[in-house]
Structure 1
Amino acid sequence: MVELESQGQLTDRANLATRAKLAVTKLRHPQKVSPQLVCGPSCWLKRHTGSPRRPPLPPGPSPLPFIGSLIAMIKNRPTLKWIDRMMDEMNTNILCFRIGQTHIITVSDPKIACEILKDNDGIFSSRPDCVSGYLVSGGYLSTILAPANDHWKKMKKMLVMEVLSVARHKWLQNKRDPEAHNILRYIYNECETNVNITRGILNVRSIVLQHSCNISRKIIFGSRYFGQGSENGGPGYEEIEHVDSFLTVHAYVYAFCVTDYFPWLRWITDFDGHEKIMRRSLQTARKYQDSLIDERLQQWNDGVRTKEEDLLDVFINLKNPKLTSNQIKAQILDLMLATFDNTSNAVEWAMAEMINQPRIFKKAIQEIDSVVGKDRLVQEFDTPKLNYIKACLREAFRLHPVASFNLPHVSSVDTTVAGYLIPKGSHVLLSRRGLGRNSDVWNESMTFIPERHMNGDNEVVLADHDLHMFSFSTGRCGCPGVLLGTTMTVMLMARLVQGFTWELPPNEPHVDLNENVHNLWKAKPLFALAKTRLPRHLYPALKLDVKLGICIIWTSLICSATLGDQVTTDVASLFLLDDEGSRSNPDMAIEVSDLLSVDQLLESVMKSAQQVSRISICNAPNMSFEMSNHFKQRQQWHVNGVQSAGQSFMEQSTAPTTSKRVSNDGADSDAVIVSWSNHRSNGVMARYQANGIVVDELTNREFDQLQLSRVRDHLV
């Protein structure tokens, strides 16, 4: 007793008696010693009240020593389908499995998801260190894939305040509008002009993918194409290769690469080949982007460029923080990757579901005809009222997310979520599929029902901050481009629904809605029969200025000698002014949208050039020409009008008057070309379409040296 008292320094008689009994019991029956007797009543009480038990990990497979569930993961590729299957088999909304020493937590319950991204946002605001994230971000120089640190905070603030702000979004509308027109022009060409080739059956996936990338290139680089595009107005080889490289990058970012969980293997071996594939795809993407960035940087350094016109200019001119060349390239790659797949996937799936359910498509058409009508094209300012269109898209985001999981979040400390332990360093993934198809949240969760998102007259929005579905991420690592993504998605869908009817191709009873084996994309691209449904003049045929409906191609020529009807010229410059504002010399550009009449246009041309030898104006239907008398001393006007496809030009020579309307047989022509020259005109070679005229080449001998191959863009 004395020995026990000296060892434990116990004064409580009850504890002394207990320890005495323990000593006797230990000698007689050592196997029957109770944990309660080891520490006594007071010690046991302290253990179960003052120091709570460590919470358990979420349910999951039993890991092997050191490697965890690595073998099971490799045997059950694709990993994302294996995870979904385990969650279904275990009937759990939160799952934990370990690869190496990293715990991976997946969640499919909106309450748990909100607990992670809203209640404990500060703990889960970082990204994991992995090979794919490192390669895509150029060594974590960008924002989206970078771990949380001071650099990330500066970059995120810069994106939110300077690049993707509401003010910047409005500033970029003149870049987005031409792309909304261009997609109509392209589809019209494919289902009407090239109907003998396409039979009106179009690849919807290809159309929406390229449109999304066209917008990204336009707002970032100021141009639709890296190359020349194709003759039908679609993408060229460069654009197709660029998009394909992005699709590959998306497939391998955070794709459960083995070396991500065994860092000591990095840069030693490419265990599953992910690194090689990523490097090759990124090299393809960057070969088109980085050269443009380097060229633009040089223009600003040399003083050639002085006005900000796109996001690349914005990045270059940022002061706080001032970005290096490599940081700009990383940020732009981030933006390009973030803006194309979510939109295109949602629109393709929505179209597929709506074609399978004509009732839904009819209701969407009725809404857009009611809000917009059929005498004009839908515009961005119409989108707040297109609630059913947005409900269809929201339902597509819910039922058919672009990826199984969001980008992973990393726990910065040990924490507890939903009663489970989330160890420090865990990778936390929210299941887009599980959230959107959760039967506890959604009735008939596997059925496409847009009406479930309608709430009286309240505006429908695509984002869901309650995480009942996952369209755009939320929290500190949330998507800063929700406004841009929403605008792109709704406008694309609205133009497709308003401009065309979409039906099943002949001999196809329904749209196949099966998912791809390796992801959640539609297994087969959607092909649909497209037919026009608006008045013909609304479809773009030539890219004309939005306000005036005119496209100007003009040349500044310095005459060195004039002998009779022959003119010897030295080409000084060529300018193409269209609704994109593209031009070869910004200093001599004419802002067509600010002109009120052709009279002012001609005056501006004369002021901008030393001598103008030719002006060609392609005019929209019912357009009046106002011509100044001060041009009377010039040579004759050649007025060429065409009424319909296949007709030859009607040419008449007349002196300019103060006002002139061109017509054939008393009716306004579908399209006209007015050419004014100070030398003899050899005419304009042109190709006709049913709704007007498309200029293919200017073949006059005076313009051979200009090498102007064709005017590709079309009328609003």
Structure 2
Amino acid sequence: MALPIIGHLHLLGPLIHHSFREISSRYGPLIYLRLGSISVVVASAPELAKELLKTHELTFSSRKHSIAIDHLTYNSSFAFAPYGPYWKFIKKISTFELLGNRMLTKFLPIRKQELHHFLGGFYSKSKVGESVNITQELTKLSNNIISQMMLSMRSSDTDSEAETCRVFERELMIYIASDGLLEKLITSREELRKQNRINGAVHEAQDFLDIMLDVMEDENAEIRLTRNHIKALFLDFFTAATDTTAIAIEWALAELINQPEVLEKAREEINRVVGNGRMLRSQTTPISHIYRPF
């Protein structure tokens, strides 16, 4: 039975996935809960997850919408948009422009540089016996890479623009939409593009902001975008990609540490195939082949 107002929230502990597992072990792999005023169905068996996420993907692909989401994302969110023309249009641009082979290859030196900087920090601290906050360093790594792909600036730099970007990311992570910062970033890039046109220079897309401004200026585009669409998309990417990327790597490292035999197997394979005198290198695979954003 659900309690008034709170529903089944009293049954959930700090580790909510553990709570779902315990409830499912008593009542079965498909359970209905009420979290406050929100009705939720929890599927905890692989065959049921496949039914919901693959067989009937389109039916269950939309996310819960709310007035708060509309307010924070200019009523133009991609991550929370229903499956339809706008969602498919932005997915296509994101997959083939930002996450396509051309852009991934272009930003390969940046990713390599950031990884060298990341590992160099560990090496420097290990020499003097200092501890390292893995979570913080992984978040910084993903921040720097995403910032350069999206805005051509490094969030750990000390100049004023990078500081603006860093403040921007910090505010986004606590879901405080900063219209002033977004406007400043977009306006600054528009002025640069305008000046290049006046000087007769060809402005090639340097990052995702340029790509989105090109689409916004295209009168024949499949979907006409506005500044609010661009702002909302940047909110989506910064909030959805920064911490999730770092957390995924952190969990992978934690699992390796907790399973020494697997860690030793991985270390042996790297030493045998790559060696310990250089970093691992691989060919760039188009992200569209392995990853479906949102």
- The TM-score, its normalising length taken from structure 1, stands at 0.35
Asked if 1:300 is matched to 2:193, the reply is: yes
For residues 178-217 of structure 1, what are the structure 2 equivalents within 5 Å? 178-192=113-127, 195=128, 199-217=129-147
Confirm whether residue 282 of structure 1 aligns to residue 177 of structure 2: yes
Which 5+ residue runs of structure 1 have no aligned equivalent?
Answer: 1-61, 230-235, 250-280, 384-462, 464-471, 473-478, 482-716
Structure 1 distance, partners of 2:105, 2:284, is: 15
Indicate if the aligned counterparts of 2:63 and 2:80 stay in contact, CA closer than 8 A: yes
Number of the residue aligned with 1:170: 105
Distance in 2, Cα, partners of 1:97 & 1:203: 37
Q: Deviations over 1:504-548 (max 9, x none)?
A: xxxxxxxxxxxxxxxxxxxxxxxxxxxxxxxxxxxxxxxxxxxxx
Higher relative helix content: 2
State the partner residue of 1:117.
53
Distance, in Å, in 1 between the alignment partners of 2:31 and 2:85 is 32
User: 2:211 pairs with 285, 289, 314, which one?
Assistant: 314
Cα offset, 1:123, TM superposition = 2.1
Report % sequence identity: 26
Provide Cα deviations, 1:604-660, integer angstroms capped at 9, x if missing partner: xxxxxxxxxxxxxxxxxxxxxxxxxxxxxxxxxxxxxxxxxxxxxxxxxxxxxxxxx
The counterpart of 1:130, out of the listed 45, 55, 66, is 66
Select which of 291, 301, 305 maps to 2:184.
291
User: Deviation at 1:161?
Assistant: 3.4
- Closer, same or farther in 2 for the Cα pair 1:239/1:354, shift >3 Å? farther
The alpha-carbon deviation at position 158 of structure 1 amounts to: 2.6
Note closer, same or farther for the CA distance 1:78–1:359 as it changes in structure 2 (3 Å cut): closer
CA contact (8 A) 1:217 1:225 kept: yes
Could you state the TM-score of these two structures normalised by the residue count of structure 2?
0.78
Partner in structure 2 of residue 480 of structure 1: 293
What is the deviation of 1:205?
1.0
Q: How does 1:508-523 map to 2 (within 5 A)?
A: none
1:220 aligns with 2:150: yes
- Structure 1 residues 169 and 136: alpha-carbon distance in aligned structure 2, compared to 1, 3 A threshold: farther
Quick check: 1:374 aligned with 2:276?
Answer: yes
Q: Secondary structure at the match of 1:303?
A: helix
Partner of 1:343: 245
2:96 alignment partner in structure 1: 161
Q: Pick the aligned partner of 1:142 from 77, 89, 96.
A: 77
Native 8 Å contact 1:142 1:327 kept in 2: yes
Q: Report if aligned partners of 1:179, 1:215 keep a CA contact under 8 Å in 2.
A: yes
2:177 match: secondary structure = helix
Larger-Rg structure: 1
The 1:202/1:294 distance shift into structure 2, 3 A limit, reads same
Alignment of 1:530-609 (within 5 A): none
Whether 1:152 aligns to 2:87 is: yes
> Partners of 1:213 and 1:239 in 2: how far apart?
10
Change in 2 beyond 3 A, CA 1:79/1:106 = farther
Deviation at residue 221 of structure 1 after TM alignment: 1.0
Q: 1:113, CA displacement in angstroms? A: 1.5
Q: CA deviation at 1:216?
A: 0.4
Is the Cα contact below 8 Å between 1:143 and 1:334 reproduced in 2? yes
CA contact (8 A) 2:142 2:246 kept: yes
Secondary structure of 1:339 counterpart: helix
How far apart, CA to CA, are the structure 2 residues paired with 1:290 and 1:379? 38
- Counterpart of 1:113 in 2: which secondary structure? helix
Partner of 2:27: 91
Q: In the superposition, relative to structure 1, how do residues 121 and 359 fare at CA in structure 2: closer, same or farther (>3 Å)?
A: closer
Summarize deviations over 1:353-399 as a string: whole Å, max 9, x none.
Answer: 4334444333222222222223322223399xxxxxxxxxxxxxxxx
8 A Cα contact 2:7 2:33, kept in partner: no
Instruction: Report deviation, 1:308.
Output: 1.3
Query: What's the offset of the Cα at 1:154?
Result: 2.4
**Per-residue displacement from partner, 1:554-587 (whole Å, max 9, x unpaired)?**
xxxxxxxxxxxxxxxxxxxxxxxxxxxxxxxxxx
Tell me: CA distance 1:297–1:323, structure 2 relative to 1, closer, same or farther (3 Å): farther
- Residue 207 of structure 1 deviates from its aligned partner by 0.8
Equivalent position of 2:264 in the other structure = 362
1:460-499 pair list within 5 angstroms: 479-480=292-293
CA distance in 2, matches of 1:364, 1:190: 24
**Cα contact 1:96–1:104 (8 A) shared by 2:** yes
Counterparts of 1:292 and 1:129, CA distance in 2: 28
SS at match of 1:282: coil
Distance 1:106 1:133, change over 3 A: farther
Residues matched between the structures, number:
278
C-alpha spacing 1:181/1:80, structure 2 compared with 1 (3 Å): closer
Give the counterpart letter for 1:145 in structure 2. Answer: F
Residue 175 (structure 1) shift:
3.1
Counterpart residue identity of residue 212, structure 1: S
Distance 1:177 1:169 in 2: 12
Residues in 2 aligned to 1:354 and 1:282: alpha-carbon distance in whole angstroms: 37
What amino acid is aligned across from residue 250 of structure 2 in structure 1? Answer: E
SS in 1 for 2:277: coil
**Structure 1 residue aligned with 2:233, among 331, 334, 340?**
331
* 1:124 Cα offset (Å): 2.1
The Cα of 1:117 is off from its aligned counterpart by 2.1
SS of 1:202 mapped into structure 2? coil
Mapped partners of 1:353, 1:346: distance in 2: 11
Letter in 2 for 1:340: T
Shift of 1:163: 2.9
Contact 2:32 / 2:41 at 8 angstroms: preserved in 1?
yes
Match status 1:107 vs 2:43: yes
* Compared CA separation, residues 187 and 170, structure 1 to 2 (3 A): same
What's the C-alpha RMSD, in Å, of the aligned pairs? 3.3
